[in-house]
């Protein structure tokens, strides 16, 4: 048995202990076992520089267990107050806002979205029916996961320059391919649109609405989109799955799908309220968001934002450099998991809740560190490269940055530009995924081709100009 196999076996054995203990021990009793899981995840498996877990038991006792650093090369360690991007956990704030506004009589679940949008926006209609707020909140609107006109200037911060005007333009020209309400399709666009619509109805911006109606009543002072100076000092550095630090994400227009930051301590307050373990003016609305409303998959349902599977109510999140999980079961156990890496941590959350599903054999991609090279060499790499299959890649230079824009089915994201980082003078790597580029020179020293390594294969592209 090699070292990697041994490491995975130890992790699986540790999780098995947690599963056996889940039904009979308090959250305090699982503290050491949780610490063992994080030690395996951070120190041996290198899932993330740092992971923070928050736990709640049926008595309402809260425990935070943390392991690792707030960033590679940083001295500070993560803890319950460390700030993370929480990505799509934002969605259950958006849907809670919706239910709260329904309870206040401000909107109805069956309101068509066109009721709140400018008259100039043509909302999609299929079979004589318009998309409703409920359709958006349950991912059954028929809208795609992402708008077709999302074409970021920087693939490492893909939502930053997407405008309200672009959102309206896509909505006005979108042709739905199936009956509204008929099928679940997870949609960042749809949930971002829902947040926008609710803010329009309330006459304010999305962040102010969440802060005023959710964060304020629950005393969640570390849950914000716009960070204070003090919160920035507690903000972890995000890292890609292949190791290097990556950019924070800005989500101005589609904020309702994933723009918030938070800490484990703050999310435990939100979790406790959803589990009815703390009194809250939002308690009634929270219970309604957890009610299964539509089917989302085999043995799976969706409420307002919340995913429901095997007795667990949950939602996860991810950005370019962070992963998050929040969930609870019907036995009074709840868990929050936050990590400053793009590697998966969902299974940690599920297993801490006593799920019978085993952790998969996790093996993170090779961790890469950018080398220090003379950036003047970038000029020789700039140009247009073409693969045999007709796909192409354009390499451009932006100061000290080398940027690759690849199109076609082999691309990380079709036509999205990504910065690539030097592993050496001729070899570069993406941080958005496990892919590398090697530039090849002829005997005269001129760059003639590139080799792209992705998904275990090498593909050559000839430099045309």
DSSP string, 382-423: -EEEEETTS-EEEEEEETTEEEEEE-STTSSSTT-EEEEEES
Global pTM exceeds 0.95: no
pLDDT band at 7 (very low <50, low <70, confident <90, very high): very low
- Domain assignment present for 26: no
Which domain CATH number covers 345?
3.40.710.10
DSSP 329: E
Can you give the pLDDT at residue 411?
46
Together in a domain, 192 and 330: yes
CA 417, 422, 425, 427 dihedral sign is negative
The reply to whether 336 and 433 lie within a common domain is no
In the three-class reduction of DSSP (H, G, I as helix; E, B as strand; rest coil), residue 191 is classed as helix
pLDDT band at 4 (very low <50, low <70, confident <90, very high): very low
* Residue 104: partners with Cβ closer than 8 Å, 6 or more residues away: none
| Residue in the structure block whose two tokens are 């707030």 | 70
Check whether residue 338 and residue 386 sit in a common domain: no
140 within some domain: yes
Asked whether residue 402 is domain-assigned, the answer is: yes
Q: What are the angstrom distances between the C-alpha of 267 and each of 34, 253, 357?
A: 18, 24, 24
Who wins on pLDDT, 269 or 242? 269
pLDDT at residue 204 tops 60: yes
Least confident of 24-33, 134-143, 293-302, 454-463: 24-33
Q: Does residue 55 fall inside a structural domain?
A: no
Last-in-domain residue among 352, 384, 416: 352
Domain membership of residue 45 (yes or no) is no
Q: At which residue do the structure tokens 């080799």 appear?
A: 451
pLDDT attached to residue 19: 39
Distance CA(380)–CA(397), nearest Å, equals 10
CB 375 within 8 A of CB 386: no
Q: Which one has a higher pLDDT value, 85 or 415?
A: 85
**Number of residues that make up the chain:** 465
End-to-end CA distance of the chain: 51
Q: Is 355's pLDDT higher than 70?
A: no
Beta bridge partners of 429: 421, 436
Select the more confidently predicted residue: 407 or 323: 323
Euclidean distance between CA atoms 238 and 97, whole angstroms? 28
Q: Do residues 250 and 207 touch, judged by C-beta distance below 8 A? A: no
Binned at pLDDT 50, 70 and 90, residue 181 comes out as very high
Is the pLDDT assigned to residue 265 strictly greater than 60? yes
Q: Are 268 and 192 members of one domain?
A: yes
The pLDDT value given to residue 240 = 92
Shared domain for 380 and 334, answered yes or no, is no
Residue 114 and residue 197 in one domain: yes
Q: What is the pLDDT of residue 10?
A: 34
For the chain, the average pLDDT equals 89
Confidence at 6, pLDDT banded by 50, 70, 90: very low
63 vs 432, more confident = 63
Instruction: Assign 308 a pLDDT band (cuts: 50, 70, 90).
Output: very high
The answer to whether position 4 is within a domain reads no
In a domain, residue 211? The reply is yes
The pLDDT of 379-399, averaged and rounded, is: 90
Lowest-pLDDT choice from 109-113, 262-266, 428-432: 428-432
Considering the domain architecture, whether residues 304 and 410 belong to the same structural domain is answered as: no
Domain count for the chain, please give it.
2
Of 301, 317, 352, the domain-final residue: 352
What is the residue whose two structure tokens read 């570390």? 222
Q: How far apart are CA 198 and CA 200, in angstroms?
A: 5
User: How far is the C-alpha of 268 from the C-alpha of 10, rounded, in Å?
Assistant: 29
Q: 454: domain range? A: 375-463
pLDDT digits (tens, 9 = 90+) for 74-127: 889 999 999 999 999 999 999 999 999 999 999 999 999 999 999 999 999 999
Question: What is the rounded distance in angstroms from the CA atom of residue 96 to the CA atom of residue 196?
Answer: 14
CA dihedral 216, 218, 222, 226 (to 10 degrees): -40
Chain segment 211-235, per-residue pLDDT in tens: 999 999 999 999 999 999 999 999 9
Task: Identify the pLDDT of residue 388.
Answer: 81
CATH code of the domain covering residue 427: 2.40.128.50
Q: What is the mean pLDDT of residues 243-271?
A: 97
> Does the pLDDT of residue 365 top 80, yes or no?
no
Confidence of residue 369 (pLDDT cuts 50, 70, 90): confident
**Of 33, 70, 78, residue with least CA distance to 55:** 33
For residue 361, the model assigns a pLDDT of 61
Query: Do 236 and 138 share a domain, yes or no?
Result: yes
- Residues 203 and 238 both lie in one domain: yes
- Cβ neighbours of 182 (radius 10 Å): 12
Return the pLDDT at 13. Answer: 35
Instruction: Verify that 398 and 429 share a domain, yes or no.
Output: yes
Identify which of 27-41, 377-391, 412-426 has the greatest average pLDDT: 377-391
Q: Is the pLDDT of residue 419 over 80?
A: yes
* CA–CA distance, 409 with 214 (Å, rounded to integer): 42
Torsion of CA 62, 309, 192, 255, to 10 degrees: 20
pLDDT confidence bin for 446, thresholds 50/70/90: very high
Question: Where does a domain end: 352, 367, 393?
Answer: 352
Same domain, residue pair 204 and 346: yes
Say whether both 342 and 408 belong to one domain: no
Whole-angstrom Cα distance, residue 428 to residue 4?
Answer: 27
Arithmetic mean of pLDDT, 442-459: 92
Cα→Cα distances 198→108, 111, 290, Å: 11, 11, 19
Give the pLDDT band of residue 1 (cuts 50, 70, 90). Answer: very low
Indicate if the pLDDT at residue 321 is higher than 50: yes
Residue 59 lies in a domain: no
Q: Show the beta-strand stretches assigned E in 246-361.
A: 261-262, 294-297, 300-302, 307-309, 312-318, 323-329, 334-339
């Amino acid at each position: 048995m090699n070292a990697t196999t041994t490491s995975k076996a130890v992790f699986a054995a540790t999780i098995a202990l947690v599963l056996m203990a889940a039904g009979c021990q308090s959250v305090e009793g699982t503290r050491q076992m949780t610490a063992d899981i994080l030690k395996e995840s951070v120190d041996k498996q290198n899932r993330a520089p740092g992971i923070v877990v928050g736990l709640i038991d049926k008595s309402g006792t809260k425990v935070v267990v943390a392991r690792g650093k707030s960033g590679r090369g940083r001295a500070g360690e993560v803890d319950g107050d460390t700030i993370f991007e929480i990505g799509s956990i934002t969605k259950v704030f958006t849907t809670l806002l919706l239910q709260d506004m329904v309870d206040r009589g401000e909107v109805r679940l069956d309101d068509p979205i066109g009721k709140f949008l400018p008259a100039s926006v043509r909302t999609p209609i299929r079979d004589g029916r318009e998309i409703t707020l409920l359709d958006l909140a349950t991912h059954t609107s028929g809208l795609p996961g992402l708008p077709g006109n999302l074409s970021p200037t920087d693939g490492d911060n893909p939502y930053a320059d997407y405008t309200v005007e672009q959102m309206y333009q896509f909505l006005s020209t979108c042709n739905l391919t199936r009956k509204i309400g008929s099928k679940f399709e997870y949609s960042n666009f749809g949930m971002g649109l829902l947040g926008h619509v609710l803010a329009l109805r309330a006459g304010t911006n999305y962040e102010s609405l969440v802060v005023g109606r959710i964060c304020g009543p629950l005393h969640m002072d570390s849950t914000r989109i716009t960070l204070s100076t003090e919160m920035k000092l507690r903000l972890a550095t995000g890292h890609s799955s292949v190791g290097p630090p990556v950019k924070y994400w800005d989500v101005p227009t589609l904020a309702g799908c994933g723009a918030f930051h938070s800490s484990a301590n703050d999310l435990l307050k939100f979790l406790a309220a959803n589990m009815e373990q703390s009194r809250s003016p939002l308690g009634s609305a929270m219970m309604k968001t957890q009610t299964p409303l539509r089917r989302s998959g085999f043995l799976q349902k969706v409420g307002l934002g919340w995913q429901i599977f095997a007795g667990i109510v949950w939602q996860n999140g991810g950005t370019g450099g962070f992963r998050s999980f929040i969930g609870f079961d019907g036995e009074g156990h709840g868990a929050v998991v936050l990590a400053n890496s793009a590697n998966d941590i969902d299974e940690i959350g599920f297993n801490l809740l006593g799920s019978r599903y085993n952790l998969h054999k996790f093996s993170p991609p090779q961790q890469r560190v950018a080398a220090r090279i003379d950036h003047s060499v970038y000029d020789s790499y700039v140009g247009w490269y073409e693969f045999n299959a007709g796909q192409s890649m354009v390499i451009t230079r932006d100061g000290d940055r080398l940027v690759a824009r690849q199109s076609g089915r082999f691309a990380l994201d079709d036509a999205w530009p990504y910065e690539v980082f030097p592993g050496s003078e001729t070899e570069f790597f993406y941080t958005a995924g496990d892919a590398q580029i090697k530039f090849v020179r002829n005997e005269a020293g001129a760059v003639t081709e590139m080799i792209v390594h992705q998904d275990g294969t090498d593909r050559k592209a000839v430099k045309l100009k």
